[in-house]
Structure 1
Amino acid sequence: MNPLFAFDDDPCRALAAHHGTPCFAYSGAVAEAGFRALRAALPARVRLAYAVKANPHPELLARFASLGASFDCASIGELERVEALGLPPGRTFFAGPGKREAELRKALEMGVRVQAEGWEDLARIDRLADREIAVNLRVHPAFDLDEGNRIIGGSGPSAFGVDEEDVPRLLERAAALRHVRIRGLHVFAASNQRDAAKLRAIHGGVLDLARRLHETHGLAFEQIDLGGGLGVPYAPEETPLDLAAFGQGLSDLLARHSWFSGELILEPGRFLAGPCGIYLARVVRVKESRGTRFAILEGGINHLIRPLLTGQPFPVKAVGKGEGDVPYTLAGPLCTSLDRLGEVRLPELAAGDLLVFGTTGAYGLNEGMTHFLSHPVPPEVWVA
C-alpha cells in the first residue's frame, strides 16, 4: 500500500496540528499488514529478518517481533535496540563491512549470527569466543546479479564480503581456527527490485553459487541469506512487487536445489518500513529564480536524504489541494545547494501549505537515525 493513500487529507491535517511540522508518522496497521502479506506468500523455509537500518523505531521493532520476525542489524546501536526486545538467541543477524571488536563482542554476548565479511571478522570472533561459533560468510560474486543497480555495485570492486575468487584461500586459513565454523552463506543480491522474475533469477544465481561452494569445498550450509532488495513503488506508474509470483519463485528454487536442506533468509527493510510511513512538512516560501520555481520547505536532506543519493524524489502531494501540474524544485532549509528533494509537479503552492511525502522508510530520517545509532557523534576537540 502506498502511504499517500493510507493517510488521507484530514488525518494529515490532524497530525500536523497535533504534533507540529516537520514530522514523521507511521501506521502500525499498515506495517503489520505488510509483514503478514509477505509472510503468507513465502515458503515455510524462508525466514524474515527485518533490516533495522530501514527504520529502528522501537514500536516498529516490537510489532514485527510479535509477528515472529528476526532482525538484521548493521551497528551496535541496532543490536542494542533489538536486545531490548528480549528475544531468545538465534533471531538476530549482524552484518556490515567494518565491525569493531566491541561490536563483535556484543554480538557474541547476545548469541547473534554474524555475517562475516572477511578474514578479520573470522579471526576476531575466534579470538573472542570461548565456544564453537557458527557464522555466515558474505561473498561478493564474480557475476552481476542485479545488473545496472549502482546501489549493489555490480561485479566490480566492493567493500563488502569476500570476492568469490578469493574464497578458496580464505577457507584454507579458516580451517585452522579453533572456534569459528562457516555454516552459512550471505550474498546481498538486489536493491529495490519490484520484478518477481528478476528476483527469481537473482536468487537463483545465489543458490547456484552456494551449490558450487558446497560441491567444491564441502561447505554444509545451514542458512543461505539472500539479503534484502524487495522493492516498493516511488512513482504512480511503478507497479508493486507481485508477492504470489515472488513466493512461487522461491518455492521453485528450493525444489530445484534439493541438495540444500537449510533455511533461506530474507532481509526486507524498505519493503516493510516504507509503506507504513509519511513525512509532513510545510512550505516556508515560494520563489522563482531564472526560470525555475522553488518551493522552500522546513525540512530537506537532513530528513529525507534519498533524493540526493538516487536522484529520485519521494511521492509527494499537497494536502487539500487536489491534482496539479505546476513544476517545482523542492528545496530544504540548509545552506547548501545540495539540499534538494527533487523536481515535482504539484498544484500552485504558497507559504504554509502542507506537503506529505510517502514511502519514507527508505533513506528518510530513519536512515539518519540508524547512522546515529551506528556511530555516536565523536567528541569535538579544540587545538590551540
Structure 2
Amino acid sequence: MANPQPTALYGPERRELILRAAVREGLLDPEEARLAGFLDLDAVAATVDSLHRAFAGPAAVLHAFAAKANCLVPVLARLRALGMGCEVASPGELAQALAAGFEPGRIVFDSPARTRRELARALELGVAVNVDNWQELARVDELVTARRTGATIGVRVNPQIGVGAIGPMSTATATSKFGIALSDDDNAGRLVAAFRDRPWLGRLHCHVGSQGCSVDLMAEGVAATVALARRINRELGRRQVVGLDIGGGLPVDFTGDRMTPDYREYVERLRAHAPALFSGEFGLVTEFGRSVLAKSGFTAAYVEYTKTAGGRAIAITSAGVQVATRTVFAPYSWPLRITAHDAAGAAKHGDPVEQDVAGPACFAGDLVAEARPLPPLAPGDLVALLDTGAYYTSTPFSYNSLLEPAVHGATVTGDGRVRFETLRRAQTVEDLLRRTGG
C-alpha cells in the first residue's frame, strides 16, 4: 500500500489479524505468555508519513519523537529510520536515543532538573539543550565558557496561557514548574537582554501540554513564542533566534479508531494563530510522542478467572496497573477501549453485559474498566486494551514485582501474512531478582 492513510490501518479487522497470528505463533499463551504488547509498525510508518506531509513547506523541520512515550530502543531505531529525531528528558533516555543510532545533532534534551555533569555531557556530544530556568542558564554560562560546543542551545519559555482539561498534563499554566514564565517579573524583557549577552543562544522552546489540551490552546502558546522570537530579533537588530521548538502534545482521541485531531488539523490552527511559523524565517522542531504511536498499539491479556460480586460480573486478567498505570489511577482522564476475543483471538459476539475488567495487582482499584458493556467473558478468553502504543506496556510500573511483558512489532505482507519482531523480550524471574539485588 503506497503512502497509506493512518486511518486505513487503525481498525478491528487489522487488530484481530495481528492478535490471531500472535496466538498461533505462541506470542500469547495462557501459561507462558499471558500478557503482551503489540505495535503495528505499518501503522507507525503511516502516521510518521502523515506528520512529515502535514508540516511540508519552506521551513526546515526536525520532528523529534518524545522518547518518554515509548523508550524501547528498537522502536526509537525504527522512528529514526523513518526520518525522525528524538527528544529526551533524562540521561537514561539520552542513552537510549544514542543506542538507537540517533546522531547527537538530531537529539533535543529537555528537563527541569539537570546536573552540571548531565549538561556538560550533552553539550560535549552536540545534543541540543533547551535551558529551563535562570539558574540553569547560569550553569550553562559556566559550561560554555569552559568548553567549545557545537550544540544548539535554546531557552524554554512558559507562555502562561492556561490549563487544559487535565491539569497535570498542562504545562503552560500560571504556576507551571516548566520554563521561564513570560508574564512574571518582566521576564520577556530579561530574555531579550539574555539573548543580547549570549550570541550562542539561538532557539526558543515552548510546550503547552499534551492530553486534554486543545489544539487552539497549543497554537496560542506557539504564537506567544513566535512573537517573543521576533521581538528579540527586532530589538537586537540581528537574526539571532533562528529556531523554534514548538513541543508536541497533540491529544489522542481514545474513543474511536480515527486519529483526531490529526497533524493536518493542528497545522491549520498553527497557521491561523502564528502564520510566521511557516514563513521559513525559523527552523522548526516538534516533539510529538503519544500521537505518533498510541493508536498503533494494543495490549492483549488472557482472562484467568471470572466471578460476580454484588451482582457485578468481574473478569480477572493479567493486564492491570503494571501496564495501564494512568488508566487505573485516573480512569476518567485516561479511559481505554477494550475488546473481547476468544482463545484464538477472534472477536466475541453476544449481548453485552456490564463487567469490571480487573488486573492482577493486590489492591481493589486495579481496574482497567469498570461496568464496561462487553460480550460475556470466560476463563481463557482474551481482552485487548486499545490505543496503548505509547506509555503503556513500554513503560511498565513494577507494582507487586509483576514481570514486564514482551512487546512485539508487527508488519503485514501484501498477501495478509503477519510478521513479528521482538521489541522487548519478556522479563524473567531471574531478571527481576538481579534488578532487586537477589
Question: What TM-score do the two structures reach when normalised by structure 2?
Answer: 0.74
Letter in 2 for 1:116: V
Letter in 2 for 1:364: Y
Letter in 1 for 2:84: A
Q: Does 1:294 align with 2:314?
A: yes
Q: Distance in 2 between matches of 1:308 and 1:220?
A: 46
CA shift for structure 1 position 43: 3.1
Q: Does 1:326 align with 2:339?
A: no
Q: Distance in 1 between matches of 2:278 and 2:46?
A: 32
- The one of 177, 182, 194 equivalent to 1:159 is 177
Q: Distance in 1 between matches of 2:17 and 2:279?
A: 55
Q: Does 1:40 align with 2:78?
A: no
Q: How does 1:172-183 map to 2 (within 5 A)?
A: 174=194, 181-183=200-202
- CA distance change for structure 1 residues 131 and 333 in 2, over 3 Å: closer, same or farther? same
Q: Secondary structure at the match of 1:192?
A: coil
Q: Which has the higher contact order (CA 8 A, sep 6+)?
A: 1
Q: Distance in 2 between matches of 1:97 and 1:107?
A: 15
State the percentage of identical aligned residues.
27
Q: Is the 8 A contact 2:215 2:250 kept in 1?
A: no
Letter in 2 for 1:27: D
Q: Does 1:349 align with 2:391?
A: no
**Equivalent position of 1:59 in the other structure:** 74
Q: How does 1:1-384 map to 2 (within 5 A)?
A: 1=7, 3-5=10-12, 7-17=14-24, 18-19=26-27, 20-44=33-57, 45=59, 46-129=61-144, 130-131=147-148, 134-144=152-162, 147-150=164-167, 151-153=169-171, 155-164=173-182, 165-166=184-185, 167-168=187-188, 171=191, 174=194, 181-192=200-211, 199-212=218-231, 214=233, 220-236=240-256, 240-251=260-271, 255-256=275-276, 261-311=281-331, 312-319=334-341, 320-322=347-349, 324-343=351-370, 344-368=372-396
CA shift for structure 1 position 58: 2.1
Q: Distance in 1 between matches of 2:191 and 2:224?
A: 21
Count of aligned residue pairs for this structure pair: 373
**Equivalent position of 2:411 in the other structure:** none
**Equivalent position of 2:409 in the other structure:** none
Letter in 1 for 2:375: P
Q: Is the 8 A contact 1:51 1:72 kept in 2?
A: yes
- CA distance change for structure 1 residues 380 and 258 in 2, over 3 Å: closer, same or farther? closer
Q: Is the 8 A contact 1:3 1:359 kept in 2?
A: no
Letter in 1 for 2:284: L
CA shift for structure 1 position 314: 1.6
**Equivalent position of 2:422 in the other structure:** none
Q: Which runs of 5+ in 1 are unaligned?
A: none
CA shift for structure 1 position 215: 5.1
CA shift for structure 1 position 171: 4.1
Farther-moved stretch of structure 1 (211-220 vs 321-330) = 211-220
Q: Is the 8 A contact 1:4 1:278 kept in 2?
A: no
Q: Secondary structure at the match of 1:90?
A: helix
Q: Distance in 2 between matches of 1:56 and 1:124?
A: 28
Q: Is the 8 A contact 2:356 2:367 kept in 1?
A: yes
- CA distance change for structure 1 residues 194 and 169 in 2, over 3 Å: closer, same or farther? closer
The CA RMSD over aligned residues, in Å, is: 3.4
Q: Is the 8 A contact 2:297 2:390 kept in 1?
A: no
Q: Distance in 1 between matches of 2:77 and 2:259?
A: 29
Q: Distance in 1 between matches of 2:192 and 2:274?
A: 29
CA shift for structure 1 position 113: 0.6
Q: Secondary structure at the match of 1:366?
A: coil
Show CA shifts across 1:208-227 (max 9, x none).
45445555677832221111
Show CA shifts across 1:129-150 (max 9, x none).
4025541211122321x54441
Q: Is the 8 A contact 1:119 1:170 kept in 2?
A: no
Q: Is the 8 A contact 1:31 1:276 kept in 2?
A: yes
- CA distance change for structure 1 residues 366 and 6 in 2, over 3 Å: closer, same or farther? farther
Q: Distance in 1 between matches of 2:395 and 2:234?
A: 39
CA shift for structure 1 position 273: 1.4
Q: Distance in 1 between matches of 2:329 and 2:193?
A: 38
CA shift for structure 1 position 232: 2.2
